[in-house]
Structure 1
Amino acid sequence: MQESKVVLVTGCAKGGIGYEYCKAFSEQNCHVIASDIPQRMNDMLDFDSDQIEAIELDVSSDESVATAVNNVISKYGHIDVLLNNAGIGSTGPLAELSLDAIKKAWEINTLGQLRMVQQVVPHMAARRIGSIVNVGSVVGRVPTPWAGSYCSSKAAVHAMTETLRVELRPFNINVVLVLPGSVRSNFGNSSMEKLGNHDWKLYKEFKDAIAERARASQGSKATDATIFARHVVQKVLSPKPPKHIVFGHMTGLFAALSLSPLWVRDLFFRTRFNLNKKV
């Protein structure tokens, strides 16, 4: 009987896509290590599977990442799949959003993924097998107004992932980039909470448009997170995982925008996010 794959997933609190990834991997007879920050451990207590165990892991902390990875290796001897899912939203005009907020988005969304990779890859390289799955976004390819810090953090993930795919090939490590479209989760609510009742100065007349961007991915047509997660997991566990997994509502729109002249893209976003007016 084939041994179950050991899968480590970051950002797994209930209500998020990471939670659904864990369930989808367990359905495929994988042993899943579901991780999140200490404050969210209570949101991972009701996984209905003995194939899933929860551990504390803060991707923004070198010590936390090293401890978590070493504990998994000590217990199971290896990690077959790392899915870098942990991330936060970051909404606001770049000319006014605080650098601390931007740094936090980059620390978690970008460096958090690389921090995990640097801890896990030596173990995979020693066995000459493994898969790294980094979660990017369609807005990493086509950035939108009011979310420049988030979009740029994901664009950096794309660049790192494309590089890693080639650099890790000699060690027989697969590297996959996931580009979700609009997927239903608690992401929009979390983004709105972070935005709060921010007192914009230069952009006070655009307050409603900025808030609309924070919840834009959670419309009524957003792809169900369970369906999305099962699709990704099936692709990741296939004998030859694809380099890119693009799935979810609005991926077609963003593909078209990526091929459009810049004036068309600018006009679309100016109209969509109320940037046609002069102040």
Structure 2
Amino acid sequence: MGCTGPLAELGGGETVRRAMDVNFLGMLRLVRAVTPSMAERRSGCVVNVGSVVGTAATPWAGVYCASKAAIHAATDALRLELAPFGVHVVKVVPGRVKSGIGRANTAQIAGGHGGKPREWGMYREFTAAIEERARASQGAGATEASALARHVAERVMRPRPPREIVYGSLTALFAVLAASPVWARDAFFARRFGLNRKL
């Protein structure tokens, strides 16, 4: 579930809580439901889906990025915790993947389901950039979801699945950004998302 907007104005509202509940806590609830039987039979594979934005957070999507970073951290811990039981844990780090998230993000800030369109206070001059970020992952070149699914399934079905699968559009760029000095990453994202000017 996406959550688009400046963190300073989103605060801890219902949209933020729902995004963290669905994206991160939902994953933990599922892990709790399935791992006891895997541990009992000493086999199984848990596959958690993060995102490249969990490695290099983008402006206007801080909550979504945080939820994916939380998945990455929890998956790394879980991999070690379940190893004694013979259970594999795989972290999937997709790039841009075609889905309905762009439409859902746009609807969220436009006041979907009959709600009032979101009006930003101190960020009102950035409205166009925020709306563009809501759709950014669905641009030209986004990976087909079926291609990602086939790639991941082929690897997790191996007798010894990999610890991490990175796949899809923009993964190389985000690998470079994640490894870059913070000032360089900040400069890139500030320019990309309209934050390279003073008000």
Same fold (TM over 0.5): yes
Which fold has the larger relative contact order, with Cα–Cα distance below 8 Å and residues 6 or more apart in sequence?
2
Asked whether 1:275 is paired with 2:195, we answer yes
Within 1, Cα distance between the matches of 2:165 and 2:151? 9
Within 2, Cα distance between the matches of 1:165 and 1:268? 33
Q: 1:199 aligns with which of 107, 112, 119?
A: 119
Asked whether 1:154 is paired with 2:68, we answer yes
Q: CA deviation at 1:238?
A: 1.3
Within 2, Cα distance between the matches of 1:124 and 1:239? 15
Q: Which consecutive segments of 4 or more residues in structure 1 shift more than 6 A?
A: none
Within 2, Cα distance between the matches of 1:209 and 1:181? 20
TM-score (norm 1): 0.68
Q: 1:254 aligns with which of 145, 166, 174?
A: 174
| Number of the residue aligned with 1:91 | 4
Within 1, Cα distance between the matches of 2:107 and 2:162? 35
Within 2, Cα distance between the matches of 1:146 and 1:181? 17
Q: CA deviation at 1:98?
A: 4.1
Which amino acid counterpart does residue 121 of structure 2 have in structure 1?
K
Asked whether 1:112 is paired with 2:26, we answer yes
Within 1, Cα distance between the matches of 2:162 and 2:107? 35
Within 2, Cα distance between the matches of 1:190 and 1:231? 26
| Number of the residue aligned with 1:217 | 137
RMSD across aligned positions (CA): 0.9
| Number of the residue aligned with 2:160 | 240
Q: CA deviation at 1:226?
A: 1.2
Within 2, Cα distance between the matches of 1:220 and 1:148? 23
TM-score (norm 2): 0.94
| Number of the residue aligned with 1:59 | none
Asked whether 1:137 is paired with 2:43, we answer no
| Number of the residue aligned with 1:35 | none
Q: Tell me the matched-pair count.
A: 192
Within 1, Cα distance between the matches of 2:103 and 2:15? 17
Which amino acid counterpart does residue 133 of structure 1 have in structure 2?
V
Within 2, Cα distance between the matches of 1:225 and 1:194? 22
**After superposition, what is the alpha-carbon deviation per residue over 1:189-229, rounded to whole angstroms, capped at 9, x for unaligned?**
11111121311111000001011111111011111111111
Within 2, Cα distance between the matches of 1:109 and 1:257? 23
Q: Which has the higher strand share?
A: 1
List runs of 5+ in structure 1 lacking aligned partners.
Answer: 1-87
Within 2, Cα distance between the matches of 1:277 and 1:253? 24
Within 1, Cα distance between the matches of 2:196 and 2:165? 34
| Number of the residue aligned with 2:80 | 166
**After superposition, what is the alpha-carbon deviation per residue over 1:95-142, rounded to whole angstroms, capped at 9, x for unaligned?**
001412211111110010001101111111111111100010010010
Within 2, Cα distance between the matches of 1:137 and 1:276? 25
Q: CA deviation at 1:184?
A: 1.0
**After superposition, what is the alpha-carbon deviation per residue over 1:223-252, rounded to whole angstroms, capped at 9, x for unaligned?**
111111100111111121110010000000
